[in-house]
Amino acid sequence: MIKDDLKKILVSEEQIANRCKELGRQLDHDYADKHNVLFVGILKGSVPFMAELIKRVSIDIEIDFMAVSSYSGTESLGDIKIIKDLEQSIQGRDLILVEDIVDTGVTINSLKTLLYNKGANDVKVVTLLDKPSRRQVDIKADYIGFEVENEFVVGFGLDYNQRYRNLPYVGVLKEELY
């Protein structure tokens, strides 16, 4: 069982579910006057968070996904490459980028620039986790589930070499597994 590979659980299923309800209420409030808001999930890490979050949003939205290059092992690659692009035009639309974690900030920083260049009216970021101690570019997510320390985390979408995404909570692996 993959849960036996964990040293500790950082964020429980219940904490994630409750926080998603709060974030949903907040987004309903902040986007009450907007029309046709597009939630853009960053594959693959955002999938469980996207699923949990959109159930708690009651305004009229659409969803889409993008895939960008990310980590190989535990090291950030420093720049991003689009592997799967959005399916519809984003001209003049309000976008909410949905991320699993903001670490160095390189990914959301590059993505925001790219999406504004493609004509988005507004791009905000909602992330399940924030690791502010690792930031390399001066950027903040607009909505944050939980702040984590400078530790590599897995679960609820987050992977280590593509594994552990299916854990229903967020935790830290035992040292000998890295």
Beta-carbon contacts of residue 44 (< 8 Å; ≥ 6 apart): 67, 157, 159, 165
> Taking CB under 6 A as the criterion, which residues in 101-120 touch ligand IMP?
101-107
For the stretch 99-133, what's the b/e string if a residue is b when 16 or more beta carbons lie within 10 angstroms of its beta carbon?
bbbbbbbbbbbbbbebbeeeebeebbbbbbbbbee
Least Å from the CB of residue 75 to ligand IMP? 10
Catalytic status, residue 85: no
Contact between 130 and ligand IMP by CB under 6 A: the answer reads no
Contact between 173 and ligand IMP by CB under 6 A: the answer reads no
Least Å from the CB of residue 67 to Mg ion? 9
Site string for Mg ion, 41-70 (x = CB under 5 A): ----x------------------------x
Residue 102: enclosing H or E segment and its boundaries? Answer: strand 94-102
Which residue out of 4, 30, 103, 130 is catalytically annotated? 103
- Scan for tokens 């159930």, then name that residue: 55
> Taking CB under 6 A as the criterion, which residues in 28-87 touch ligand IMP?
45, 70-71, 76
Least Å from the CB of residue 104 to ligand IMP? 3
CA distances from 166 to 41, 91, 147, 169 (A): 17, 34, 21, 9
Cβ atoms within 10 Å, residue 69 = 12
63, 64, 118, 152: which one contacts ligand IMP (CB under 6 A)?
Answer: 152
Rounded Cα distance, 115 and 124, in Å: 11
The residues binding Mg ion (CB under 5 A) are: 45, 70
The residues binding ligand IMP (CB under 6 A) are: 45, 70-71, 76, 99-107, 152-154, 158-159
